[in-house]
Structure formats: structure tokens, C-alpha cells
Amino acid sequence: MTEMRPPLDGIRVVDLTRVLAGPFCTMLLGDMGAEVIKVEGHEGDPVRRQGTLKDGLSWYFAAFNRNKKSVVIDLKTDAGKELLARLIETADVLVDNYRPGVLAKMGFGAERLAELNPQLVTCNVNGYGSTGPYVDRPAFDFVVQAMSGFMSVTGAEDQPPMRTGLPITDLVAGLYAAFGVVNALHARRHNGRGQHVDSAMANGILSLMAYLASEHFATGQLPPRTGNDHPLVAPYGLFTASDGEVAVAPSNDTVLRRFLRAIELEHLLDDPRFSTNEARFPRRAELRALIDARMRTESQAHWIEVLNRAGVPSGKVQDLAEVFADPQVRAQEMVIDVARAGAAPVRMLGFPVKLSQTPCTVRLPAPELGEHDDEILGPLRRA
């Protein structure tokens, strides 16, 4: 029987990234089986010192730097740059999250990299892309959320624009970067050449604007902030049961009829005020009040069971403690404990994509700073 090897087994990634967007990209590549060599300066990735430390380890750092090996190289010195050059010669992929052009100023422009390794796939994770007037601007998730239009459509209609609760633009840029690298590696199998992948925070989040962008292109109108309501259909959102709120998503008329039938309010669709989505939309508050009055007669658990059985997407608004105890989350192995020598295991999120034949796994815990110097750099120094 053929051994089930992870998809990127045999691929070596040199990782010059730090903080979040870049490390998320290289973590994904590591989860897919690549050997990821995290190059750090003597101070290490600043995230090593951020968040809660347990047994001297930042669990924030541990979560985004699993499946990596750490080496220390001082890239401000000629000796350090020469060592990096030798490492690049052995690599398949080079990922950095410097501003565009910084790597070239360090002596590793596109021509030099091609000379060192013609088959190298390079990837830069940045704020606004490698061309255009904002190339040299510093980027941060909060600002990119504002600049991209994402913040303008997030929040309640009568409240100021809001950021998301997590650094979504960093994470999306890292995800697209990993996606781009895998595509470039696949192309290399056919043409034998490396290429450059550019993944910008602003481009990534803009690509997720979905039907809001489509409606703006079609109408020229600016989409309003709608909070938990849907910007195109009604009713939709959070409804009030006897012991709390229930999230319900009747995204079309078929599902809406199932919803209202399940809560014994199907007759509302015969009322001209609510018979079409166009009629319902300006009367969302009125319709919500009628639905809430009915749903307050039973518990969250009752309605979630009734609605899902009827084919209506619904669920409870769970906090993180509830999420991580949820049997579905556990069954999907989205909470994992990663062993660490001499200390308690580190709990972190699992890999979200499930491959039946070549599973993605955690093989290595987050490395100590410079832990793999001898293994990785020793042969290069002796060469």
C-alpha cells in the first residue's frame, strides 16, 4: 500500500515573515507537509512576546508557527546575507512580508533570486500590492479594513462603521498567499520555472465583498450597514426566544416559507405587507416584532431543533467556550492539543480542510528561537 504523504512533502519553504499574515501563510504550507524554515533575527519574531505566556511560550505565537523550524540569521550583515543566499539555493519557496522592494534593497531582487535558484517560487505578503500609489504605505489590519470599504458595510445602520472582531485582512492575505504558492508550485511541475506570488491585504478583503460589490456595480448605490439583517432579503438575523437569541438565515422565499410554517406564522405571507421580499424589506422591524412575539413562547433549544428539522438554517450565538466544547467542532478536530517537550500541551485551532488520502497534520510544535540552527545552517556553513 502506498504511504500517505502530506501534499507538500519534500517542499522546502524559507520563511522571512513575522507577526500574522505571513506566518499564517507559511503555517498553512507547513500543515500541508512542507518543511518550513523560519528565519529570525536575534530578537526573534515579536509575537514570541505577545499574548499570554504559558511555561514561557506565547500561545499566540505557537498557534501560527507550528510545523516550522527556527534558525537565527542576522540579515543586516554580509555574512548573514551570504548564509541566506545558500539557504535559498536549497529551497522551493521563499515567503516574505516586507513592503514591496525591501527584499531587493537587501540584495535579493528578482534577478538575484533567479540566479540563485531558477525554480524558486517567491511570495510577498503586503498591504496594498506591488504597484500603484500606495505601495510604500505602512499597512495595518484596522486601516486596511477602513480603506477597503469592508468597514463601511460592517455594523448597525445607526452606528459608526465597525471593524471585525478579528484581523480579517491579515488572515485573508495569508490564506490567498498560501493558495497562490500552491498554484505556482503546480505550474512549476509543467514548465520547470518558478514565479512570483503577490498577496495584498487590501486585494484579499476586497475580493470578499461578494454581492455588496455586485449590487453597487449594478445600481451605483452605496450599500447601507445592516447589522445582523441581510442587505438583500428580509426577514433574516437574530430572533428572540424565551431564553436568548437564535440566528436564522431564510435566504430565499422557499426557506422563508419553511421558517414561517415551522413557527406557525405562514399566514403572514398572505398579507400584502409581507407577501414579497420587496414589500417586506422596508417593514423589517414590523415583521421582526411579529416573529419575536411567537418565538418568545419557546426556548432556543426548541426552536433550533424545530427549524433545522424543517430545513431552516439556524443556531445559537455561541461564545468561544461554547464553540470549543461543541461536539461538532470536536468531531471535526478543530481543537487540537500539540505536545511540547517538557511542558503541557498547547491547545490551538486545527486544520479546516479535510483531505481523505493525504491529511494535513501538526508534526512539529512551534520552535524555540534558533532551535534548528545546527540542523539547517550547519551544513551550509561547512559547504
How crowded is residue 67: how many other Cβ atoms within 10 Å of its Cβ? 26
The model's pTM is 0.92
The position carrying cell 426557506 is 255
Which CATH superfamily hosts domain 12-208+332-382?
Answer: Crotonobetainyl-coa:carnitine coa-transferase; domain 1 (3.40.50.10540)
Query: Is 302 considered catalytic here?
Result: no
How far apart are the C-alpha atoms of 372 and 158, rounded to whole Å?
54
From first to last of the 383 residues of the chain, give the pLDDT tens digit: 456 888 999 999 999 999 999 999 999 999 999 999 999 999 999 999 999 999 899 999 999 999 999 999 999 999 999 999 999 999 999 999 999 999 999 999 999 999 999 999 999 999 999 999 999 999 999 999 999 999 999 999 889 999 999 999 999 999 999 999 999 999 999 999 999 999 999 999 999 999 899 999 999 999 988 888 888 898 999 999 999 999 999 989 999 999 999 999 999 999 999 999 999 989 999 999 999 999 999 999 999 999 999 999 999 999 999 999 999 999 999 999 999 888 889 999 999 999 988 888 888 999 999 999 999 999 988 76
Q: Report whether 71 contacts 39 (CB < 8 A).
A: yes
Q: One of 186, 190, 216, 230 is an active-site residue; which one?
A: 230
Cis before 118? omega within 30: no
Of 51, 12, 15, 49, the closest CA to residue 34 belongs to 12
Which of 229, 233, 238 is CA-nearest to residue 318? 238
Greatest Cα pair distance in the chain: 83
CA distance 95 to 286: 53
Among the CATH numbers 3.90.1150.50, 3.30.1540.10, 3.30.70.250, 3.40.640.10, which is that of 237-325? 3.30.1540.10
Q: Which of 23, 326, 334 is nearest to 178 (CA)?
A: 23
Domain positions in the chain are: 12-208+332-382, 237-325
71 neighbors 40 (Cβ within 8 angstroms): yes
